[in-house]
Amino acid sequence: MSGPDRGGTGKDWDEGGPERLYTVTRGRAQPDRTSVELVSLIVARTEPQPGMQPEIAAVLRMCQFPLSVAEISAYLVLPVSTVSVILAGLLKDHRVEARAPVPAAVLPDPELLQAVMHGLQNL
Protein backbone atom coordinates (compact mmCIF):
# COMPACT_ATOMS: atom_id res chain seq x y z
CA MET A 1 0.00 0.00 0.00
CA SER A 2 2.95 2.26 -0.29
CA GLY A 3 2.47 5.27 -2.39
CA PRO A 4 4.29 5.06 -5.66
CA ASP A 5 6.88 7.65 -5.00
CA ARG A 6 7.26 7.49 -1.30
CA GLY A 7 9.94 4.93 -1.14
CA GLY A 8 12.58 7.19 -2.54
CA THR A 9 12.19 10.01 -0.08
CA GLY A 10 14.24 8.19 2.50
CA LYS A 11 11.97 9.53 5.19
CA ASP A 12 10.84 6.63 7.31
CA TRP A 13 8.20 8.63 9.06
CA ASP A 14 6.40 9.24 5.83
CA GLU A 15 6.42 5.80 4.36
CA GLY A 16 3.40 3.68 3.65
CA GLY A 17 -0.26 4.51 3.76
CA PRO A 18 -2.21 5.53 6.82
CA GLU A 19 -4.40 2.45 6.80
CA ARG A 20 -3.46 -0.88 8.23
CA LEU A 21 -3.96 -4.21 6.54
CA TYR A 22 -6.81 -5.36 8.74
CA THR A 23 -9.07 -2.62 7.47
CA VAL A 24 -8.69 -3.92 3.94
CA THR A 25 -10.24 -7.25 4.87
CA ARG A 26 -12.17 -6.17 7.94
CA GLY A 27 -9.89 -8.19 10.14
CA ARG A 28 -10.28 -11.49 8.38
CA ALA A 29 -7.06 -13.30 7.67
CA GLN A 30 -8.47 -16.23 5.79
CA PRO A 31 -11.48 -16.73 3.59
CA ASP A 32 -14.43 -18.65 4.95
CA ARG A 33 -13.98 -21.45 2.52
CA THR A 34 -10.51 -21.95 1.24
CA SER A 35 -11.38 -21.87 -2.39
CA VAL A 36 -8.40 -19.98 -3.69
CA GLU A 37 -4.91 -21.29 -3.67
CA LEU A 38 -1.74 -19.46 -4.35
CA VAL A 39 -1.65 -20.80 -7.88
CA SER A 40 -5.33 -20.51 -8.73
CA LEU A 41 -5.92 -18.42 -11.80
CA ILE A 42 -8.35 -15.60 -11.37
CA VAL A 43 -10.37 -14.13 -14.22
CA ALA A 44 -12.65 -11.17 -13.82
CA ARG A 45 -16.21 -11.57 -14.98
CA THR A 46 -17.30 -7.99 -14.47
CA GLU A 47 -15.85 -4.58 -15.05
CA PRO A 48 -14.78 -2.46 -12.13
CA GLN A 49 -17.32 0.14 -11.19
CA PRO A 50 -16.83 3.48 -9.53
CA GLY A 51 -17.29 3.45 -5.80
CA MET A 52 -15.81 0.03 -5.36
CA GLN A 53 -13.14 -0.62 -2.81
CA PRO A 54 -9.90 0.22 -4.61
CA GLU A 55 -8.42 -3.22 -4.11
CA ILE A 56 -11.47 -4.89 -5.62
CA ALA A 57 -11.50 -2.50 -8.54
CA ALA A 58 -7.82 -3.15 -9.06
CA VAL A 59 -8.31 -6.91 -9.02
CA LEU A 60 -11.15 -6.69 -11.52
CA ARG A 61 -9.12 -4.41 -13.73
CA MET A 62 -6.01 -6.52 -13.77
CA CYS A 63 -7.77 -9.85 -14.08
CA GLN A 64 -9.23 -9.30 -17.51
CA PHE A 65 -6.73 -11.98 -18.36
CA PRO A 66 -6.03 -14.81 -15.97
CA LEU A 67 -3.64 -13.99 -13.20
CA SER A 68 -2.56 -16.17 -10.37
CA VAL A 69 -3.31 -15.23 -6.79
CA ALA A 70 0.36 -14.85 -6.13
CA GLU A 71 0.75 -12.46 -9.02
CA ILE A 72 -2.19 -10.39 -7.87
CA SER A 73 -0.65 -10.29 -4.45
CA ALA A 74 2.60 -9.05 -5.91
CA TYR A 75 0.98 -6.39 -8.05
CA LEU A 76 -1.11 -5.05 -5.22
CA VAL A 77 1.79 -5.28 -2.76
CA LEU A 78 -0.56 -7.02 -0.38
CA PRO A 79 0.04 -10.26 1.50
CA VAL A 80 -1.44 -13.39 -0.03
CA SER A 81 -3.88 -13.90 2.82
CA THR A 82 -5.34 -10.45 2.33
CA VAL A 83 -5.70 -11.04 -1.39
CA SER A 84 -7.31 -14.40 -0.71
CA VAL A 85 -9.95 -12.80 1.45
CA ILE A 86 -10.67 -10.17 -1.18
CA LEU A 87 -10.87 -12.83 -3.87
CA ALA A 88 -13.09 -15.05 -1.76
CA GLY A 89 -15.55 -12.20 -1.47
CA LEU A 90 -15.44 -11.61 -5.20
CA LEU A 91 -15.89 -15.31 -5.91
CA LYS A 92 -18.90 -15.40 -3.67
CA ASP A 93 -20.46 -12.57 -5.65
CA HIS A 94 -19.48 -14.27 -8.92
CA ARG A 95 -17.56 -11.26 -10.00
CA VAL A 96 -14.46 -13.32 -10.66
CA GLU A 97 -13.95 -16.96 -11.35
CA ALA A 98 -11.10 -19.14 -10.26
CA ARG A 99 -9.55 -21.72 -12.47
CA ALA A 100 -7.55 -24.57 -11.11
CA PRO A 101 -3.90 -24.36 -12.05
CA VAL A 102 -2.48 -26.81 -14.51
CA PRO A 103 -0.65 -29.33 -12.39
CA ALA A 104 2.94 -29.73 -13.36
CA ALA A 105 2.69 -33.49 -13.41
CA VAL A 106 0.12 -33.43 -16.20
CA LEU A 107 2.48 -31.74 -18.57
CA PRO A 108 4.46 -34.10 -20.78
CA ASP A 109 8.05 -34.27 -19.79
CA PRO A 110 10.11 -33.87 -22.99
CA GLU A 111 12.96 -35.87 -21.57
CA LEU A 112 10.65 -38.73 -20.76
CA LEU A 113 9.14 -38.55 -24.20
CA GLN A 114 12.56 -38.47 -25.69
CA ALA A 115 13.60 -41.46 -23.65
CA VAL A 116 10.50 -43.34 -24.78
CA MET A 117 11.21 -42.38 -28.36
CA HIS A 118 14.76 -43.54 -28.10
CA GLY A 119 13.60 -46.77 -26.49
CA LEU A 120 11.14 -47.34 -29.28
CA GLN A 121 13.76 -46.64 -31.88
CA ASN A 122 16.12 -49.02 -30.22
CA LEU A 123 13.64 -51.81 -30.37
Binding positions for other proteins, rule: CB under 8 A: 1-9, 11-24, 26-30, 38-39, 41, 50-51, 53-55, 57-59, 61-62, 64-68, 70-71, 73-82, 84, 101-104, 107, 109-111
Minimum separation from the CB atom of position 88 to other proteins (A): 11
DSSP 102: P
CA dist 81 and 8 (Å) reads 27
Cβ proximity to other proteins, 4 vs 123, nearer residue: 4
Residues 80, 37 contacting (CB under 8 angstroms): no
Cβ proximity to other proteins, 107 vs 123, nearer residue: 107
